[in-house]
């Protein structure tokens, strides 16, 4: 077994649930410095790949060419939740680029957040493609394709020239052979990559510390993408979600993906972490990341407090009665013991 218990939850003093997983940390030499479980554990990135998928848009100056604001460009790396500020940004992107939501391969849906979803239902509003949480990523690729003269009809296919550019950049930043990267199809229709957790951490190290990137053009693009994310944390997810709460800290570049995968890069500390919760749970992300930051002695206690506020150690029921506890069970300093 290449994974270990990360979080236990008890109720009334009785163990009720255990979340198993893998955690890997790398230093600025791209060497594994912390680990729980096997750093070579392969996993799909899902939406944790979005910052990398946005890099070609930054490389080709799509924000400048179409006059996009930082807030609008941040949607290229976002898993947005359909709040008003997300939809306004997407509509502005369409107006400035001349793109239409009918070009998106994603199907019409409702927003992920309850408030905007219920507001639409109250007014009998129909589902739309731009409400899909990956629509910003798709518009980023479509806008880049339009500028470069690439076909728009099959922009989501793995063989498309822009998807091939994304894959090449991703392999370069993660220091993993392109031909060995596993490729599947994500929920939104895009290619989705699989590689060792160690290499995912290396990729997030480069996002946080772009001076480690030799290629000057890619380095400048990474600086731009990370800037979009830190300048607009609520765009990347929304209020009271882990990605946004981490990105409020200018020292952190972070993004999660479906089925429990997460990447975190720390600028000042010049290290990065990647984790995978084996059962696919995202609910324990804040607890795990907060504990990692505590264990390395992270200085910004406000960031840690924001994470614990998302998933408190105390488990309370619907009437706020204390009924159990979330408990971290891993130590990243004990390497594969």
Tokens of 64: 């400048």
User: 258, 12 in Cβ contact below 8 A?
Assistant: no
pLDDT at 1: 62
Non-local CB neighbours of 68 within 8 Å, separated by 6+ positions: 62, 92, 93, 96
Tokens of 162: 């822009």
Tokens of 76: 């290229």
pLDDT at 337: 44
User: 233, 244 in Cβ contact below 8 A?
Assistant: yes
Topology of domain 4-328, per CATH? Beta-lactamase (3.40.710)
pLDDT at 333: 78
Spatial distance between the Cα atoms of 259 and 329, rounded to a whole number of angstroms: 20
Burial class of residue 100 (count of CB atoms within 10 Å of its CB; 0-12, 13-18, 19+):
exposed
Predicted TM-score (pTM) of the model is 0.96
Name which of 315, 334, 333 is nearest 324 in CA terms.
315
Chain Cα centroid distance, residue 25: 17
Helices then strands (H, E): number in the chain? Answer: 14, 11
Residue 95's alpha-carbon distances to 3, 72, 99, 131, in angstroms, are: 47, 12, 7, 16
Spans of the chain, pLDDT less than 50: 336-337
Using alpha carbons only, what angle is made at residue 60 by residues 50 and 47, rounded to the nearest 5 degrees?
5
Spatial distance between the Cα atoms of 68 and 72, rounded to a whole number of angstroms: 6
- Residue 11 φ then ψ, to 5°: -135, 120
């Amino acid at each position: 077994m290449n994974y270990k218990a990360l979080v236990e939850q008890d109720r009334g003093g009785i163990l009720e649930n255990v979340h198993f997983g893998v955690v890997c940390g790398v230093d600025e030499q791209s060497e594994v410095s912390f680990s729980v479980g096997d750093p070579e554990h392969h996993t799909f990135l899902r939406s944790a790949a979005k910052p990398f998928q946005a890099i070609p848009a930054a490389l080709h100056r799509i924000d400048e060419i179409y006059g996009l604001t930082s807030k609008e460009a941040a949607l290229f790396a976002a898993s947005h939740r359909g709040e008003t500020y997300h939809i306004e940004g997407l509509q502005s992107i369409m107006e400035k680029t001349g793109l239409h939501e009918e070009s998106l391969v994603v199907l019409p849906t409702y927003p992920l957040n309850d408030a905007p979803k219920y507001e639409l239902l109250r007014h009998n509003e129909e589902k739309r493609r731009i409400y899909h949480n990956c629509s910003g990523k798709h518009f980023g690729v479509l806008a880049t394709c339009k500028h470069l003269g690439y076909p728009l009809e099959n922009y989501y296919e793995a063989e498309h020239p822009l998807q091939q550019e994304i894959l090449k950049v991703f392999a370069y930043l993660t220091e993993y052979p392109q031909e060995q990267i596993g490729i599947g199809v994500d929920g939104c229709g895009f290619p989705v990559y699989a590689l060792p957790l160690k290499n995912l951490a290396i990729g997030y190290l480069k996002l946080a510390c772009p001076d480690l990137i030799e290629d000057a053009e890619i380095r400048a693009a990474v600086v731009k993408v990370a800037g979009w994310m830190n300048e607009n944390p609520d765009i990347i997810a929304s209020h009271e979600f882990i990605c946004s709460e981490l990105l409020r800290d200018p020292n952190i570049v972070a993004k999660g993906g479906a089925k429990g995968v997460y990447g975190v890069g720390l600028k000042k500390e010049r290290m990065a972490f990647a984790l995978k919760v084996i059962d696919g749970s995202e609910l324990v992300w804040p607890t795990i990341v907060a504990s990692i930051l505590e264990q390395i002695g992270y200085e910004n206690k406000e960031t840690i407090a924001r994470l614990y506020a998302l998933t408190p150690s105390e488990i309370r029921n619907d009437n706020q009665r204390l009924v159990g506890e979330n408990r971290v069970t891993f130590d990243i300093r004990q390497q594969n013991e």
